[in-house]
Structures are given as C-alpha cells and as structure tokens.
Amino acid sequence: MAHLYLQLEQQLSRLITAGRLVQGDKLPSIRSLCNEYQMAKGTVLHALERLEARGLIEARPRSGYYVCLAAEQKIPSDFVPAPLEARVSDVLLEIMQAGSAFDLCPGAGDESTTGLELLNRSMNRAMRQQRGKSHLYYDSPYGLAPLREQLGQRLLKRGLTVSQDELCITSGCQNSLFLALMATCQPGDTVAVESPGFYGVLQLLEQLKLRVIEIPSSSQSGMMMDALQAAAEKWGIRACVVSPCFSTPTGALMPEHSRVRLLEMAEAHDFAVIEDDIYADTALGVVPDPLKSLDTTGRVILCSSFSKTLSKDLRVGWISAGRWHKNVVQLKLVTQLASPTSVQKGVADFIASGAYTAHLKRQQHRLKQQRDQLLAEIRSWQGVHTTSIPEGGLSLWVELTPERNTLTLFHSLKSRGVMITPGTLFSNEDKFKNALRISYFHPWNKQRLNALNSIAAILKRP
C-alpha cells in the first residue's frame, strides 16, 4: 500500500489536474486536511511539500497553500517553436524489435492471463458460430455493427454520444492516427504535437512527409495552451495531436479549462484536433471523459484501441472522425479494405458479457500496485530530479539530473539484457536527454527488480 502522504498527494494532484481545483484556489487548511483524511500533521505537511516541489501549489506566508500550476507559467510570452521535418531515431527500431517498449526485460513472464483466456474463448466461439459462406465475404468498411454498438455504449458512459455510423473499426490506434492524419493533412503541412509526446506520432509524420512543431507539455496537465496559441498564430497548423487522458510518456491529464481552450483555438485557427484516447481505460480511478465529448463542431477525431488494456497482439481499434468521417472510411477501404469479422465478433461478445469491465477492474488494482512499487524503487535512486505520479497510463516519466544522458545509459544496460526507453525518443529535437520512460505494466518479479537494480547501480557512479 502507498504511504499515507503519497495517497494525499495523489488525491490533491487529481483534483488539480482534473480542474476541480484551479489556479488561485486556496487549499483547505492543514488542520482541515488532517481531520478530513485522518492523517497526522507531519504526514499532511510532507504531501503539501511534495506538491509544492512539483509546482502544483505554493505556500503563502500566514495565508496557506494555493494552486499555482507554476509549470504552465514558465513559458515566455514570446515563445514560438519552429516547425521541423519529422524524424525518428534508429534506437526506436531496436526497442521495438526487442519487444521492450513497455518491459525492461521482455519475456520475463508472470503476467495475468485471465482476461485474455476469456477473450480467446469468446473469439473461438465467434469463429465456430460463423454460418454458410460468411468467411468468403469482406466485412463493411465501417466494421462489424455489434462491436460499434458496444463501443458506442461504453463511450456514452463517458459523456460522448456517437451512433454506430459515426464509428469505424481499424487495425489499432496507430492505424486510426494514420487515417486521421491522412484525412486532414497534405505533405508539407504542420502538425502540433506534445513534447514530450508519443514517438509513434513522429513516425507517422515522418512517413507522411508532414512537419512537426513541438508544444511543451506539463507532466501534470498536458499540452500548454499558451505555447500552442503562439505556434498557431506564428506558423499556422493543420492538425494538433493530443492525448488528454493520460498522455504518454508522463501520464498527464488535461484539465477541462485547457480542453475548452484547445477547442476554441481549433475553431479560431481552423485546425483538426486528433485525440489519442488509448490510455483512458487504464485510469486508476474514474475514467475521464474524452475531449470529443466537448466537441460541438466535428473538429475532434477520436482514436483508440484495446492494445493497452487487453493485448498488444489484438489489432482492433476505432476512430470517430467527425466532419472527416466519410473520408476516413474511404481511406480505410483503400488502405486496409476490411477488418476480420470473427475477431470483431469475439471482442463484441467479450464486452457485452461484462468480461471486459471485470478485466479492467482487476487490471486497475494490479496497475496501481505496480505503479506504487516502481515509485518506491525509484525513490532510492541517486540523481533523480523529478518523477511523474500519473493516475492512469502505463509508465512513469523520470527526469535525472542534467548531466545524465539516458541514451548512454540505454547502451550500457542493453549489454546486460536490460532495455530502457530514453527520453530523446519522445521528441523530434533531441530534447529530454536526461529523462527516461519506465513502464509498470508488467509485474515486478525477480528479473525485473534486478533490472531496476542495474539502473540504480549505474546511477550511483559519478
């Protein structure tokens, strides 16, 4: 179980990043917090000191603690990043070939397979239930109606009403992002991305010959709207790719006021908002609403899949593309033709039976334990500057002291069979050389704990 001070820190952090407490709000007094959470004064003070160190709150003499979101205020008023050609490091290929994007020790085992076993049974039943010559025909480009119906019901619980015809099944979230960029952009256009942000988006931009403009992102609240505003006014952008619900690599949760401002900006500057929603169901608490639930003009393209919650081998995703939806379906028909019917039917039945909801509850408990265990391990490391404490996603973003280079660390550890993900992969401009992403998706068995110890041992060296 997490330390009491960490529980309070996480609770207050969640209220701030969700927009329940906004800049300028005064926190309850220390005495009130002690009474409300049944904690000692020293425990409450420790939690508040950690929040202050993260830049979320500030102490005012003889007044108390106030929400400040200082990270948002550090952007100079004249900050204007420049668009560049997208390019991706060869190190990413090494990591993907090793299967280590979310595992320090690929193949170390001990994963729970309960959900996957039930899913496999569901898909096997779907294949047996096929009648006649249905296997000789392609599925509709939109995808199987029962699966789209189940997805629509799940999105409705998150505040988004979409019909079956507004959803299209794809072969994973990366495929959805690809279709969204193809539908909204032409070669040479500029696309705004989070920084640090998902390297998979950089891969797509490179292949589609699109220019990228990096927008600084807070590890608590995501993309910084002042910087995006400056970029849109200076350079013009065709699309903006964001992950409002637990962005990778930091796990940031975009507050509602930033979401509203983003949509207002998209309308004013006429650009598409491509929402990567793949981590929403990894929430350690309540699953946040998608950004698209606030969309009234069809400017948000929602993209997601089951790869982060069920299986990375299950290439089933979806897209709801608003005003570009007809174009997206046509692009899917050209590039993919159709999706496997039996797989879609198996997933649809798996969701309808309630097995997916049960799987997410088990996973939520497991991920929280594994995240807290990783946090405890990292606290013992030397040279750690900051560590994100996400309420969703699958990873921590660890920033080391400035003199450290995690690309050098990558090569040192690789020879020992340990694979880390260096921070430079999450930027198009070789930023974040002293940072790394570490996933808590897999159980911390002996082999993975030894891998963490190998990182700690290297960090002890001068």
Q: Is residue 378 part of a domain?
A: yes
Per-residue pLDDT tens for 277-334? Answer: 999 999 988 898 999 999 999 999 999 999 898 877 788 999 999 999 999 999 999 9
- Note whether residue 83 is domain-resident: no
Same domain, yes or no: 233 and 347:
yes
Q: Mean per-residue pLDDT for 87-97?
A: 82
Per cent of the chain over pLDDT 70 is 92
Q: Are 104 and 45 part of one and the same domain?
A: no
pLDDT of 124 reads 76
Domain assignment present for 80: no
pLDDT at 312: 75
* Span 2-24, average pLDDT: 75
The pLDDT value given to residue 71:
42
Residue 121 has pLDDT above 60, yes or no: yes
**Domain with 425 in it: what CATH number?**
3.90.1150.10
Q: What is the pLDDT of residue 4?
A: 81
The pLDDT score that the predictor gives to residue 70 is: 44
Same domain for 382 and 428, yes or no, is: yes
CA distance 323 to 328: 10
What's the confidence (pLDDT) of residue 341?
A: 83
In a domain, 441, yes or no: yes
User: What is the per-residue pLDDT for 77?
Assistant: 53
Listed residues 323, 355, 387: the one ending a domain: 355
Of 62 and 306, which is predicted with more confidence? 306
Give the predicted TM-score (pTM) of the model: 0.83
**pLDDT > 90 in the chain, percent:** 56
User: Are both 297 and 407 inside the same structural domain?
Assistant: no
Judged against a pLDDT cut of 50, whether residue 72 lies above it is answered with no
Domain ends where: 308, 331, 355? 355
For residues 392 and 320, state if they share a domain.
Answer: no
Q: Which of 213, 226, 223, 290 has its CA nearest to residue 250?
A: 223
Local confidence band at 75 (pLDDT 50, 70, 90 cut-offs):
low
Answer yes or no: is pLDDT of 114 > 70: no
Integer distance in angstroms from the first to the last C-alpha of the chain? 33
Q: Are residues 213 and 288 in the same domain?
A: yes
Residue 313, pLDDT score: 76
Q: How confident is the model at residue 458 (pLDDT cuts 50, 70, 90)?
A: very high
407 falls within a domain: yes
- From 177, 182, 209, select the one nearest 83 (Cα to Cα): 209
CA dihedral over 59, 63, 66, 70, signed as positive or negative:
negative
The per-residue pLDDT for 196 is 94
Which range is most confident: 63-72, 180-189, 425-434? 180-189
Per-residue pLDDT band for 167 (boundaries 50, 70, 90) equals very high
The pair of structure tokens assigned to 223 is 């993309």
Which stretch of 86-90, 109-113, 267-271 has the lowest confidence by average pLDDT?
Answer: 109-113
Where is average pLDDT lowest: 4-13, 147-156, 400-409, 431-440?
Answer: 4-13
Q: How confident is the model at residue 73 (pLDDT cuts 50, 70, 90)?
A: very low
Looking at the structure, tell me whether residues 104 and 151 fall in a common domain.
no
Q: Does a structural domain hold residue 221?
A: yes
**pLDDT at residue 61 above 80?**
no
Provide the β-strand partners of residue 192. Answer: 213, 240
Which residue segment(s) compose the domain that 231 sits in? 119-355
CATH of the domain at 199: 3.40.640.10
Residue 335 pLDDT? 87
Helix H or strand E segment including 349: helix 341-352
Are 342 and 447 found together in one domain? no
Determine if the peptide bond prior to 249 is cis (ω within 30°): yes
pLDDT digits (tens, 9 = 90+) for 395-442: 999 999 999 999 999 999 988 889 999 999 999 988 999 999 999 999
Q: Is there a domain that residue 84 lies in? A: no
Residue 54: which of 36, 74, 77, 81 has the closest Cα?
74
Report d(CA 276, CA 282) in Å as an integer. Answer: 13
Q: How many separate domains does the chain show? A: 3
Q: Is residue 73 part of a domain?
A: no
Instruction: Tell whether the model's pLDDT for residue 134 goes beyond 70.
Output: no
pLDDT for 35? 92
Q: Which of 47-51, 78-82, 285-289, 417-421 has the lowest mean pLDDT?
A: 78-82
Alpha-carbon span 255 to 17, nearest angstrom: 5
pLDDT band at 19 (very low <50, low <70, confident <90, very high): low
Give me the mean pLDDT over the 165-182 stretch: 96
Residue 1: the pLDDT is 40
Q: 147 and 104 share a domain?
A: no
231 plus 146 within the same structural domain: yes
| CATH number (domain holding residue 21) | 1.10.10.10
pLDDT computed for residue 275 by the predictor: 98
Domain boundary among 292, 322, 355: 355
- Residue 276 scores a pLDDT above 90: yes
Do 187 and 56 share a structural domain?
no
Please count the other Cβ atoms lying within 10 Å of the Cβ belonging to residue 232: 21
Which range, 61-70, 94-103, 204-213, has the best average confidence (pLDDT)? Answer: 204-213
Calculate mean pLDDT across residues 331-348: 86
Residue where the block lists tokens 């910084």: 224
Q: Where is average pLDDT lowest: 54-68, 109-123, 265-279, 362-376? A: 109-123
136 and 41 in a common domain: no
Instruction: Calculate mean pLDDT across residues 207-231.
Output: 91
